[in-house]
Amino acid sequence: MMPRRNFPKALFLGITLITAFNILLILYRGTVQSLILGKLHKDLPFPLAEWKGVIKKLSHLEMDFQDLKDTVELAKNQLENTNNTLKQMLKSMECKTKQKLHRKLFPNSELFRKWGEDLSEDQQRMAQDLFEKFGYNVYLSNQLPLNRTILDTRNSRCLQKTYPSQLPSLGVILIFMNEALSVIQRAITSIINRTPSQVLKEIILVDDFSSNGELKIPLNEKIAFYNQKYPGLLKLIRHTERKGLAESRNTGWQAATADVVAILDAHIEVNIGWAEPILARIQEDHTVIVSPVFDKILFDTFDLQKYALAVDGFNWELWCRYDSLPQAWIDLHDATAPVRSPSIMGILAADRLFLGKIGGLDGEMLVYGGENVELSLRVWQCGGKIEVLPCTRIAHIERHHKPYAADLGTVLKRNALRVAEIWMDEYKHMVYMAWNVPLQHSGIDYGDVSSRKALREKLKCKSFDWYLKNVYPILKPIPSIVGYGRMKNALDESICLDQGPIPGNTPIMYSCHSFSSQNVYYHLTGQFYVGALIAEINTEDRCLTDPGEGENPTLEPCVKAAQKGLHIYWDFKQEKAVINKSTKRCLEIKKNSAGIYVLVLQTCTTQVWKIQHTIKNWGSN
Ligand code: UDP
Ligand code: MN
């Protein structure tokens, strides 16, 4: 872009060139054109040969004119650019003036990090209030078109795919609890606009006992309006008490009549061509449960961020995570082929009757979480399969915070134990250890699991061992763990061994708390894992290490540390010293100059340690 100070020069150059060009054009037209037409032939003042010279010169001139014309064109463009630059500068000056006018009322709010610079104080207050209530930018959503265009994030090969002309019918279920009306309407609009009308049989809205006034009469009116245009398409079911997301999904399923159901969050926008791959695949095999590919709608700007295709997995806390694509799929060299997946993330599509036959969702899952893994294990262990369909893409708002639960951890833990108890057989202790819960007398009420266990019997489902070996070999059980939980030194039981700052590999002593950074796992082999349990093939947990010199222990990825010959093996028994097997130094604590206990490696004194939970009376003698 042209700098501003060149503007008068460019203007002058432009005007001069345009004038020169016009004079020469008049000359050229008046003389040369007449010659060509032969009009002045008889009055020629010079012999023809001289005229030829003139013509030659004139044709040179013509080329020069062309050059001139190009130069003028260039100057014109430069002028336009300058103009645009000026306009932009003016605009940014305007913004800055506005910024100066409007004080930032919420400088620490995540909502205003990239957005909302030109909002007045009242507008900021309103936007922040809505943001706190919903966890996303409702103020902006209310201004965006309901039928906005979003980036088509599909692989280009998806566009060449063809599907059978006869496909099963589709029912879409949207569940919500206090979502913004404009967000729900945008979801409905995207479904209507991006699903072939001949397959879209119904859209079922399930209100999980929202309190938001906007979702009462105004929502009823909107539904009536849609149904005027598309008779009978929308249905609304309202819970009269809060039932949580699993039961809300079941309510939607019960009301559905279509061949295939897609059970989605209410803060989504389906992308182009999302439905056809689902319907075609389920038509081919009704035991497939489909997980779509998510893209991320940013909670503040509502911009779309494309996610790479991945496999849906989970860790031992049963938190969802993305895993890499299987080699067998890569070898197919078909970017549109279904990807076998150990789990779903949450939203899904399924053959309606098949989903019913295998027991829908576990309605005893409270509030949120766990239900996706429960369904996934049941599907695989009881004769179905899960696939991610690369051409089915759904944009989903990733909220900043969840409006319905201040402390999700408690309910996630409870729901995870429920999954472990029903489905995980002898591996269930991995979930207990990941959540740092004692195996016996956990004090956590995970509800009655008898009907789900009976369902498992009825469906003659396979074991979790089969699932691990055949479906999810990346998830690694660790049978060698014999002690886990907080690790305390008898000198001061208010402080715990802690992984220390991240990034960094120096463990510390820190006031005890309940976060996983203080999880410690002691193995029969002598290793100590410190920090949240990973237990995944190809990703390493970190081991407590004596570097052999200095007085500070470190944390190193266990496999690498073992390969490097670092000292990661320790002798330890409950309420005994922690002694490195090769250096013979002890892990101890000592007060620094500020009187605070720090972790050290030193010649053993008499210090002893205690780990919170032990397995099968290990280390008690
Ligand atoms: N939801 C619900 N009842 C609840 C909690 C959640 O109906 O008690 C709905 C929520 O409105 C959303 C869906 O369940 O449409 C999934 O919840 P969320 O989007 O918070 O989960 P995430 O997508 O973050 O995993
Ligand atoms: Mn969601």
Query: For residue range 253-298, what is the model confidence (pLDDT) as tens digits?
Result: 999 999 999 999 999 999 999 999 999 999 999 999 999 999 999 9
Query: What confidence category does residue 5 fall into, taking pLDDT thresholds of 50, 70 and 90?
Result: very low
Q: Which two tokens stand for residue 476?
A: 């690694």
Ligand at shortest distance from the CA of 320: 1
**What is the topology classification, in CATH, of domain 481-614?**
Trefoil (Acidic Fibroblast Growth Factor, subunit A) (2.80.10)
pLDDT(33) > 70: no
The CATH class of 156-397 is alpha beta
pTM attached to this predicted model: 0.83
Spatial contact of 500 and 507, defined as CB atoms under 8 Å apart = yes
Tell whether the model's pLDDT for residue 65 goes beyond 70: no
pLDDT at site 539 = 86
- Residues 6+ positions from 493 with CB-CB distance below 8 Å: none
Q: Please tell me the residue having the least CA distance from ligand 1 atom 2.
A: 245
Residue with CA nearest ligand 1 atom 6: 245
- On whether the CB atoms of residues 376 and 276 are closer than 8 A, the answer is no
> Does residue 12 surpass a pLDDT of 90?
no
For residue 415, how far is its CA from the centre of ligand 1 (angstroms)? Answer: 15
Query: 371-381 vs 408-423: helix axis angle to the nearest 10?
Result: 20
Reduced DSSP (H G I as helix, E B as strand, rest coil) percent helix, strand, coil of the chain, to 5:
40, 20, 40
Atom 17 of ligand 1, nearest CA residue: 265
In percent, how much of the chain has pLDDT > 70?
83
Residue with tokens 């930018």: 137
pLDDT tens-digit map of 391-426: 999 999 999 999 888 788 999 999 999 999 999 999
Q: Which of 136, 177, 251 to mutate to test the pocket of ligand 1 (most atoms within 8 A of CB)?
A: 177
Decide if 241 contacts 361 (C-beta within 8 A). no
Direct distance between the N- and C-terminal alpha carbons of the chain, in angstroms, rounded to an integer: 79
> Pocket residues for ligand 1 (CB within 6 Å)?
175-177, 179, 208, 242, 244-245, 248, 265-266, 346, 367-368, 399, 402, 404
Strands (E), 191-314: 200-207, 234-238, 260-265, 268-270, 288-297, 304-305, 311-314
Asked if 433 and 533 touch (Cβ cutoff 8 Å), the reply is: yes
Which residue's alpha carbon is nearest to atom 16 within ligand 1? 265
pLDDT at 64 over 70: no
Q: Which atom of ligand 1 is nearest to the CA of 398?
A: 24
CB atoms within 10 A of CB 88: 11
Sign of the C-alpha dihedral, residues 323, 326, 327, 331?
A: negative
Ligand 1: residue of 174, 178, 245 to mutate (most ligand atoms within 8 A of CB) is 245
Q: Name the average pLDDT for the chain.
A: 89
Is domain 408-470 given the CATH code 2.40.340.10 in the classification?
no
Per-residue model confidence (pLDDT) at position 564: 87
Best of 404, 411, 415 to mutate for ligand 1, by most ligand atoms within 8 A of CB?
404
Burial of 336 (0-12, 13-18, 19+ CB in 10 A): middle
Contact 206, 237 (CB under 8 A): yes
Q: Report which residue type is found at 104.
A: K
Ligand 2 centroid–CA 398 distance in Å is 6
- Report the pLDDT averaged over residues 151-177: 98
**CA-208 nearest atom, ligand 1:** 7
Q: Averaged over 569-592, what is the pLDDT?
A: 97
Q: Is the pLDDT of residue 10 over 70?
A: no
How many CA atoms within 13 Å lie on the side-chain side of 8? 1
Distance between CA atoms of residues 176 and 390, nearest Å: 26
User: In angstroms, what is the span from residue 544 Cα to ligand 1's centroid?
Assistant: 39
Give the ligand 1 atom nearest the CA of 264: 15
Which atom of ligand 1 lies closest to the CA of 177? 11
In the structure encoding, which two tokens stand for residue 194, read together? 């991006």
**Rg of the chain over CA atoms, in angstroms?**
35
Ligand 1 atom nearest 265 alpha carbon: 15
Q: Which residue owns the Cα nearest ligand 1 atom 4?
A: 244
Specify the length of the chain in residues: 621
Pairwise CA distance, residues 558 & 548, whole Å: 16
